[in-house]
Amino acid sequence: MRIVFMGPPGAGKGTQARRLAAAYGLRHISTGDLIRAAIQEGTPLGKKAQPYIEKGQLVPDELVWELAKAALAENRYDHFVLDGFPRTIRQAEWLDALLEQQGRPLQIVLNLIVPDDLIVERLSRRRVHKLTGENYHLDFNPPPPEVDPSLIIQRPDDRPEAIRRRLEVYRLTHEPLADYYRQRGLLVDVDGVGSLDEVFARIQEVLRRQGVLLETK
């Protein structure tokens, strides 16, 4: 399977992509995780990306593409779920050209729909362990009691003001990108409101309806 998840930050792309990957033997490729890892490791790409993340802005296409391209190559351009990429038409064109060159075109784009107010509420409750990078959520996945509370921090891009800036930036590119995939017959909207199980069941139903699950390992 070759799947892209679209949707605003906090729509649940990562959670559902990881669950889908685990259920069907796919690799979850999150450009957000790749970027954060590059920043934490202090790589040249990470140092270039950090100022954009801290300001709640999108990382430039070229930087994200280099990270995504390397991850796709490691997975032989198949059996993947892309989360957070592409975000622009240019990135989508690069991705399409690469996959088609490999004879493995994209199969479906799942577009999760979630209201802005719910997104701000969700993201502002996220936390991260500043030493290990372990992600937590104060409501759904709180840090274990044995973890030192002073090591649990809120990332700059998870503060309410940064979240709203990210949503504004997201809207500038989302509609053109959604139209791009809609015209190619790949985009399917999925209601992202509800329990994790409810949303996952909707995703599975869409994949069955589109025939994508016929290619499971």
Active site residue 182: no
Lowest-pLDDT choice from 9-13, 54-58, 94-98, 147-151: 54-58
Active site residue 208: no
CA distances from 87 to 7, 111, 149, 204 (A): 10, 12, 35, 23
What does CATH list as the number for 2-114+186-215? Answer: 3.40.50.300
Set 2, 19, 87, 127: catalytic member: 87
Set 48, 155, 164, 182: catalytic member: 155
Active site residue 122: no
- What is the DSSP-derived secondary structure letter of residue 56? T
pLDDT for the residue numbered 76: 87
Set 13, 19, 36, 127: catalytic member: 13
Active site residue 69: no
Q: What percent of the chain has pLDDT over 90?
A: 73
Set 19, 122, 127, 166: catalytic member: 166
Q: Is the pLDDT of residue 215 over 60?
A: no
Q: What percent of the chain has pLDDT over 70?
A: 98
CA distances from 95 to 21, 98, 164, 207, 214 (A): 20, 5, 28, 21, 23
**Confidence category of residue 53, pLDDT binned at 50, 70, 90:** confident
Closest among 206, 209, 215, 29 to 112, alpha carbons compared: 206
| Predicted confidence (pLDDT) per residue in 146-199, tens digit | 999 999 999 988 999 999 998 998 888 889 999 999 999 999 999 999 999 999
**Confidence category of residue 108, pLDDT binned at 50, 70, 90:** very high
Q: What is the reported pTM?
A: 0.80
| Predicted confidence (pLDDT) per residue in 62-102, tens digit | 999 999 998 999 888 899 999 989 988 999 999 999 999 99
pLDDT for the residue numbered 216: 42
Q: In whole angstroms, give the CA distance from residue 41 to residue 44.
A: 9
